[in-house]
Structure 1
Amino acid sequence: MSTIFLFIGAPEIFVIMLIVVMVFGADKIPDIARGLGKGMRQVKDATNDIKREINDTSKEHNLDTNIAKDINKEIRSVKDNIDDFTGPIKRNR
């Protein structure tokens, strides 16, 4: 059984790595990985800043921050109603 990472097996990962080495060369791969790491860190920091700003703004204006909980509750309710309606017509997974 091959390792599955985002629906990609070990042979596919090996081929991708081989192509990367052929295109960029072995000496450039650490620089590329470092750049990707910095980019991902910047995206994570920006996302956290946006979340923090939204939370701070909602607290300043006394807004309800439980909107996600309410939406999830409604989604579960609709899902339960659909499950009750379909009954024995469910597919096996």
Structure 2
Amino acid sequence: MFGGLGVPELLIILVIVLVIFGAGKLPQIGGNLGRAIKNFKTGVKEEELTDKEENTEKIESKAEEN
């Protein structure tokens, strides 16, 4: 399923997380993890756009020189 992790392994991990953090903290942890993933994806997309813009500017400046 997830890189060699099956359902039993995921359930064991979930139980360990419940014991460590408690049921009340799980929604908060999930929300924070979701926001972190969203911010990471946004950062990657912005970096790709910046790289494309820089490459376009380089190509345009070379075309103007010729």
User: TM exceeds 0.5?
Assistant: yes
Per the alignment, residue 23 of structure 2 pairs with 26
Q: How far did 1:28 drift?
A: 0.3
Tell me: higher relative CO, structure 1 or 2? Use CA pairs within 8 A at least 6 residues apart.
2
Larger Rg: 1
Identity rate, percent: 28
Per the alignment, residue 12 of structure 2 pairs with 15
Return the match for 1:42 from 39, 43, 48: 39
Q: What TM-score results when the alignment is normalised by the length of structure 2?
A: 0.86
- Unaligned residue ranges in structure 1 (runs of 5+): 64-93
Q: What TM-score results when the alignment is normalised by the length of structure 1?
A: 0.62
Q: Distance in 1 between matches of 2:44 and 2:6?
A: 30
Per the alignment, residue 80 of structure 1 pairs with none
Q: Distance in 1 between matches of 2:36 and 2:3?
A: 20
> Which is helix-richer, 1 or 2?
2
Moved over 4 A (4+): none
Aligned residue-pair number: 60
Q: Give the aligned CA root-mean-square deviation in angstroms.
A: 1.2
The secondary structure found in structure 1 opposite 2:59 is coil
Q: Distance in 2 between matches of 1:51 and 1:7?
A: 31
Q: Distance in 2 between matches of 1:6 and 1:60?
A: 41
